[in-house]
Structure 1
């Protein structure tokens, strides 16, 4: 075996070791989260909207998006289904697709860290040439009360 062959083999092994062995559910710690929500509008820096909301998240991988949702006010995407969910390690991503011609849609991506998360939902409002982004930063504040709905 030549030196060149050994080097190629080492490069392939290093590349394989850098890739996770298999995709699995994102690690989400169940509980109540206080979420800071910022709605970023392009070219309107002074018009950024901010608010705080509470969410009850679950670690159950069968819970579709673990309780994550669109939190900005008067947003048609809050009533639309989440599809194409993908979870791996500490991340989850999914699409939000409303039915009908020229309807709203979005792509969401979240990263979880121990008792915190950060997420971005990039939204295209139906039939409009405008994209806006909802940025969420959440921190766990304790346990959830059973059957408690999100507070906005």
Structure 2
């Protein structure tokens, strides 16, 4: 193998010269140092194994959600704004939001994000979020014990 410094075709060995590890001949090796062989210590190995074997999250992200936006959010916002005798551009200026965003929220074409909900609730003094209570599933009497889709579906009567 040729020396990476002088180019001689002689047996080479590894050496670190100016911070670079190279294959050099014996005469060029005197310009550098022998490379340090690093062996992972037991604590390093344990740390690497711990990182590799990191448990994954199995928790459902939706299980933490407790508040939900009310159904007629836009109507509530519009009603509260009109009750305070304010134009939509005035509300936008006072809570530092774009008028078009507020207009879309009032029309119901856009659901406001959490920050906007907080601003609107504070400024208009209304409640836009409601805590959702889990509904217990109803089982038909004499059922075979298994829950079906029909047990969970609410049928609207005409």
TM (norm. structure 2) is 0.27
Larger RCO (alpha carbons 8 Å, 6+ apart): 1
Structure number with larger C-alpha Rg: 2
Larger helix share, 1 or 2: 2
